[in-house]
Amino acid sequence: TMGNWLVNHWFSAAVLAAWLGINIFLFTYYFLFFDRDERYFYTRAILGSALAWARASAKCLNFNSMLILLPVCRNLLSFLRGTCSCCRRTLRKQLDHNLTFHKLVAYALALLTAVHTIAHLFNLERYNQSQQATDSSLPAVLSKMHLQGSEWLNPIHSNQTTVEYVAFTTIPGLTGVIITLALILMVTSSTEFIRRNYFELFWYTHHLFLVYFAGLVIHGIAGLVRGQTEQSMAEVPPYDCAEYLTQREQNCTHSCCKDPEFGSIPAESWKWVLAPIILYVFERLLRVWRAQQKVVIKKVVMHPARVLELQMQKKGFSMEVGQYIFVNCPAISALEWHPFTLTSAPEEDFFSIHIRAAGDWTERLINTFQLETPRVEVDGPFGTASEDVFQYEVAMLVGAGIGVTPFASILKSIWYKFQQGDQTLKTKKIYFYWLCRDTGAFAWFNDLLASLEQKMAESGKADFLTYRLFLTGWDTSVANNVALHFDTATDTVTGLRHKTIFGRPMWNTEFAAVAAAHPRSVVGVFLCGPQALAKSLQKSCHQYSSLDPRKVKFYFNKENF
């Protein structure tokens, strides 16, 4: 429900409300300012309300350009998370929504760029029309002022100009085109599909942000949009004197006879973005420094279906469950850093990741490791620990597809805590549901489950972990294999004791069974998987939680890995 969301995400909601509020305030304030202020009286005579649309959107563009870099300063966020370690976990977890906020700001930039560009196209068209007008209307008179040697108001001084010509030959025009192209390329190449399948394309295109910021800082330098100067407004107030411009006698002696003087609006984008750019440069330097620290590769394991496991050690590295690291292999690419969820437990004396072939970079990395052991650099760990898992007597863990990875760390850690008689571990029972199309790429996870199962059986705790594997996509060869070995105690697909189920889970049945087995427990439900699954699990949590406070309650937690 909305109420629950607000309680858990009050910080995110507050940030969102503040961000929206500041955008609306900036837009409204500057729109009214440029639409009404006296010093732009003559500018409006030529441009109309398109001036206000262009300037108000420009202010919001500056504000959002200031914000866009902050959410991607991951070391800065880690530092913040560390300094507020005494804060409530809900607040720390919400720092993990950094990329969601980054995308939101990016969409705002795209929308505002469209408004700003369209408004300026109208402005250029009106400047051009006024320059070419031959009547004695105010816009026409104002556009001819440069001929008398006085200050110009209309930047177009030639009758042979087109809007396209101005757009590609002036500093604001050309930088505007370049910035917009950079933004379009960055937004379109960062869709989920491209990031998952062509990470390199996303990664390199995103570095156009350098072009974007350079263009943004230069964009307003020429000062093509002008207003009346303070001194000139005192001498010839526009409301009193405008009519004299269009109907002036030859030897005029009136106080309004003097021509108005105009000056540029100073460029100010740099003031908005200077601090974030300095912070970001500091962030990148910190990444370079952290990457120089030596990483020792302890063990390389090649699992079936081209999955590479790397076990590593690095001085001062301490991890928690559910965190991730960025990995770079200079032998493949000096610039590319790829995120991987940690699959080791904090209790182990190494940290590990599992890399499956999913794109050019991972393919090349796996091939390289089959020939030699190249040098790797590691930055991290990042992200908030998924420690909530340990707070529930009963935990239902749901991993879908690649979302199974963080549970390797969680399950191992629970087992270590369980063995060591850790007092912080409240967990008495775990239900683990694994949904995937085919187990090929996750044979390593199978092995992990099998070894956990064996260890638990040996120590007489076989019923501590119950799990089910749901194969959502399977072919006839598997089906025939199952038919042949139907009476075996271990599973034909995975070799595990618990049976594999074909098709999708019937959540109603699963929740009803857990509720019946633990009538007085608080059950934590954890998902690492798609949004659609989150919705149905959330629904089941509400449906099967008892209204009686002494009876079973299901709490839903979705992890953002």
**For the segment 44-100, what is each residue's pLDDT rounded down to a tens digit?**
999 999 999 999 999 999 999 999 999 999 888 888 877 766 666 667 777 778 889
- Does CATH number 3.40.50.80 belong to domain 386-402+411-475+491-558? yes
User: What is the assigned CATH class of domain 293-383?
Assistant: mainly beta
Instruction: Write out pLDDT tens, residues 353-397.
Output: 999 888 889 999 999 999 999 999 999 898 877 777 888 899 999
pLDDT-derived band of residue 278, with 50, 70 and 90 as boundaries? Answer: very high
pLDDT on residue 358: 81
Nearest to 339 by CA among 361, 321, 317, 320: 361
Residue span(s) of the chain under CATH 2.40.30.10 come to 293-383
pLDDT-derived band of residue 23, with 50, 70 and 90 as boundaries? Answer: very high
pLDDT on residue 164: 87
What are phi and psi for residue 226, nearest 5 degrees? -125, 160
CA angle 157, 163, 168 (to 5 degrees): 95
Give the residue ranges of DSSP H helices in 299-388: 360-371
Residue span(s) of the chain under CATH 3.40.50.80 come to 386-402+411-475+491-558
Does position 180 have pLDDT exceeding 50, yes or no? yes
CA dihedral 337, 82, 388, 496 (to 10 degrees): 30
Does position 422 have pLDDT exceeding 90, yes or no? no
pTM recorded for the entire structure: 0.82
Buried b vs exposed e over 409-430: b needs ≥16 C-beta within 10 Å?
Answer: bbbbbbbebbeeeeeebebebb
Buried b vs exposed e over 502-540: b needs ≥16 C-beta within 10 Å?
Answer: eeebebeebbeebbeebeebebbbbbbbeeebbeebbeb
Q: Taking a C-beta distance cutoff of 8 angstroms, is the pair 369, 317 a contact? A: no
pLDDT on residue 16: 93
| Mean pLDDT, the chain, whole residue set | 87
pLDDT-derived band of residue 548, with 50, 70 and 90 as boundaries? Answer: confident
Give the contacts of 250 (CB within 8 A, at least 6 positions apart).
none
Instruction: Write out pLDDT tens, residues 82-94.
Output: 776 666 666 777 7
